[in-house]
Structures are given as structure tokens and as C-alpha cells.
Structure 1
């Protein structure tokens, strides 16, 4: 297995092309870079078709990204039509009937973050890490925390991650409104800073407006901190998998009372020394991926 590079993808020899987020291939930080990547993607798709190289796609998301151009949508739809096998991260992911699918649970991040120094949890601190996008609901987290009354002393909120747009960054800063309890770190996080934000939090909150699979939740659990997630079938399965006291769920809109009650539940609950991530080991995950590649080649 080799990691992706445009040179390797276009000029190299390989049997299977495995893509996780095809939208990254057709995007860029400037109009020129985006146009170049889209042209390279067309060439790549032509090569894969000409040489009969099957595409394997991991289904992180269940639909196309929102707010993309017609050209991006077209290219992603071509990727979907050319996909020979889908790897879904949980058995609840719907896959088009024409596609073969296998289920491979998302691996944990314990070994990835092991080299980095962990912090002690600061009493009363809520945390958020990850890319800041509209669907992830970071604005609602800031609003809910800011609405916690002053008779709840010692509570703080620390948010780290790069916003998808400058407008979104401004919105979050405006909502924080100079509240001294809220610390914003709106940039691409290094692994060491991410570990510090997560492990210094008593409870990490991921208030996604839509959540189907979450590497963020697994990151938090891999670092040994409880996480608050929206209530849905996938997250209920995660709660059952990792054991009590690690995953907390809320229904409806995220409000101040939700945060306060969840923190009280964390403090009063009983949990094991670490969450049960035994199904997420990379040895097993690697074996299942190899089986998937062999299946699509056969």
C-alpha cells in the first residue's frame, strides 16, 4: 500500500485506487489550484477507466458535500459511478443497491497520539476540536455556553480548529462576544495542541447538526475523555460499544441546560479506566481492508 500523491496516482502502477474523501481531490485553496486539481482528477478518472483499475471508496459521509460547484458535483458523481466497492464504517450506512459493500469499523487513534503529552482535565472545561464547518454546529456550542448564567462559576470553553470560511470565523468570534470564559484557537491544529485541548477538557462537545460517522468522537475517546454527541442510532451504538460513562447524548437543540446537565452526569457517573475500543484495533482493520481489496480484484 502506498500513500496518495498526484505523481504516483497519474504515473505509477497500482491495482486498486482507494479514496476516502474524493471532494478533497477536486478542491483547492485558490481558484487556480482548484481548477488544476479538477483537471488532474479528470485525467486520473480517465486512467482508472482505461486500465480497469477499480475504485474502492470509504463512505465517511452519506451524501455529497453542500455548497459545491456544478463541476465539483459532476466529478464526484463520476467517482460514485466508477466505484466498485464501498467500505462503510458502520452497518447502518445505506449504500446504493448496485454497489458491493463491506463494513470495516473506523480504527482508533491511541497509537497516533501516544507520543504527545497529555494534560490534566481542568474542572468545568468544555472542549471542541476539529475543522469548523457549518454542519458541525460550533456556533450553537458557543451560543449555548455563553447563555450559561453566572451562578455556574468556574466553567470555561476551549475551541480549536480551522473554520471553512472567514465569514464563519467572524460569526463565531462575534458570538463569543469577548466572553473571558471562551478561548478560541481558530487555526489548523498541530497534533500536540489537539491533544492538549482534548485532554484538558472535562467534557468534549461535538454538536454536529448531522452526524453519521465521527473520527472526532473516536479521537476524543482514544485520548480518554468523555464526549457529548447528538442522539442518533449510530451514536447509541457507539455508547453501547465503549461502555458506560464515556458517550453522552442529547436530543434537540444544544442549549445551556444541556451542557450543565451533561457535565453533572460526567461527574456523577461511573466509568472504566478507559473506553472499550477493542473492536477498533488497526491490525484487524488492516486485515479487513486487505480482504476488501482482494474481493474487488476477484
Structure 2
């Protein structure tokens, strides 16, 4: 197919803060028109390609009637896409949803997968069934996105966790490890919005130690850049980690990360080089934390990790090629 391609992403429009939707929007070539999700727009069908991200989130709601209505809307969207010949592309952000849904949700997600013409992996280690057609397009970096924000001076000994705070992110474990013994000359900073059940526990844990401080809220990009660049080491101790936008944000701001050893993190470490991505096996402990901080301290202020191939223009062109490919061979595989 040649000419302009209109793509409906299952994402909310950009809101001035850094989110994955920015890559899809700002990186899109001139011949790709990006539109943002609503059920009305999805059912109306005035788009060439439906591009799904985190499809489980489209199906979730607090009340049972709303969940039922969303499942019905998804069934109708799939039916109309088949009838119209509209191809579906899906980016695989996670191997499994972080919070599992019920059987009805799983049946709908299986139907989505069956109808998907092409899956996009964000790293080469994403393991998909061989019956699926897939390509790899690396997650873009954020260097240009943050270029206009003022950076802080790096503070020796400063360790940072940032990002949303959910049980699987293991922030409580990080605080526990850090506070288990004296670490003079260091500081642990926690920045991000916690789930309700975690807020009180993290506040109490931080209040018990003078070298732990928190900013338990969603922060704007300018504040985020200031917090990250003030740190010597960023720690992301997730229980599950496959694709991490937070890891790319830290690396884009030239701050090394400590992350659990997973196939995707090993690939990232190989790509950007040590000691920018430091890996640990099993549970995080004090020895690992101290060693990672010591390795981070020796990095020069002018050193940068390698992030070639992650420019948003390149990401946008690769997506455009995917859309042309699925349109040329029809939507329903």
C-alpha cells in the first residue's frame, strides 16, 4: 500500500508527560496519521490499522456491568475489523499482564491474539508462539525528549527508585535491603505514585531511617529529570521485568541502572555496555547494592551509554513499514 496510513492506537493522547504514546506520535513519519483510542472511534472504523498496546487494560473496569460492556465492545471491534479487512498489529509490552484478569478476559485476549496480523517485540528476547508473525522494533530512547530540561549535579552515594509503585516493583524490598545496615555517605530516594495499599507501608518504612526520603506522587518531566540526574545509581528491583520504559529513561539521562537478570535485561546490558546495566541474580541484597553503587561512582560525568538504533525517527519508520506490510497482505491472517 502507498499513500497516507491512518492508525488507531489503543492509547490515550499525549498529555505533556513522558509516556510510550509520545514515541508513537512524535516518531510517526508524515505519511502516518496517528489517532487515539475511544470505543466509539474503534467501532466507527475510520482507520486503516488498529494498533493494540496492553489490550487487557481496554477490558478492565471497577464494576461488573462496565467490564461486560467493554468485553462486548471488544468482540464487536474484532468482528468489524474482520468484516472490513482492517489488520490488527499488537505491541507486546509484557509477556503476561502484571495483574491477572478472569476467564472471560483471557478468552477475549486469546481472540485478539488469533486475529492479530503481526506482533511487535520491543526486544529480541520476547518469546512468542511460532505460529505468530513477529518483528522486533526496539523501544526508543528519551534523550531528545528530555534535552530541554535542566539537569541536576550528580550526588555521590545517591540511590534512586522512580516510577509507579506496585507490589511487583519490590520497592519495599529495596528499602529493607538499604536500611538493613549502616551505609554512611549514601542516601536512598523513592519517587513515584504508589498503589493505596503500599503508600502507608512505604511511608512508615522511610520514616524509620534518616537516609531514606520519598516523593510519593506522580511528577512532571522537569522534576523527574532533576531527580534522576541527581542520582548516582538507579535501582529497579522488579519481581518481573521484560520491557522497562523506566530503564530507558534512566539510561537516556546517562545514569546507570541495577536490575534483575532476565533475558531482556541481559540483551540490554550487551547493547549499551557495562557498567550501565548491572545485573543481579535472585533476591536483591546489600552486597549487590553496594557493589553496583561502587561501580556507578567511577563513571565519568561525560560518559554515555550506547543507545544507537533507538531514535524515534527510526522507530517511526519501522512501524510505518509494519503497517504497509500488513495492509499489503490483508488484515485477517
TM above 0.5, one fold? yes
Inter-partner Cα distance in structure 2 for 1:182 and 1:197: 14
**Residue aligning to 2:82:** 49
How far apart in 1 are the matches of 2:49 and 2:223? Answer: 35
Relative contact order higher in (CA < 8 Å, ≥ 6 apart): 2
After TM superposition, list the pairs within 5 Å mapping 1:149-298 onto structure 2: 149=182, 152-163=183-194, 165-268=195-298, 273-297=303-327, 298=329
Q: For this pair of structures, how many residues does the alignment match?
A: 295
**Alignment-derived partner of residue 81 in structure 1:** 114
Partners of 1:157 and 1:74 in 2: CA distance: 43
Query: Compared with structure 1, are the counterparts of its residues 248 and 81 closer, same or farther at alpha carbon in structure 2 (3 Å cutoff)?
Result: same
User: Alignment partner of 1:109: what SS?
Assistant: coil
Q: CA deviation at 1:96?
A: 1.5
Cα pair distance change 1:36/1:170, threshold 3 Å: farther
TM-score, scaled to structure 2 = 0.81
- Per the alignment, residue 120 of structure 1 pairs with 153
Tell me the equivalent position of 2:11: none
1:192 positional shift:
1.9
SS in 2 for 1:296: helix
Question: Contact 1:244–1:270 at 8 Å: present in 2 too?
Answer: no
In the TM superposition, residue 127 of structure 1 has moved relative to its aligned partner by 0.6
User: Which structure 1 segments of 5+ residues have no match?
Assistant: none
2:178 aligns with 145
Whether the 8 Å CA contact 2:126–2:264 is kept in 1: the answer is: no
* Alpha-carbon separation, structure 1, partners of 2:63 and 2:217: 18
SS at match of 2:140: coil
Which of 19-28 and 286-295 deviates more?
19-28
Match runs of 1:22-61 below 5 Å: 22-28=55-61, 37-61=70-94
- Of the three residues 63, 78, 90, the one matched with 2:96 is 63
Q: Would the aligned equivalents of 2:125 and 2:267 in 1 still touch at CA under 8 Å?
A: no
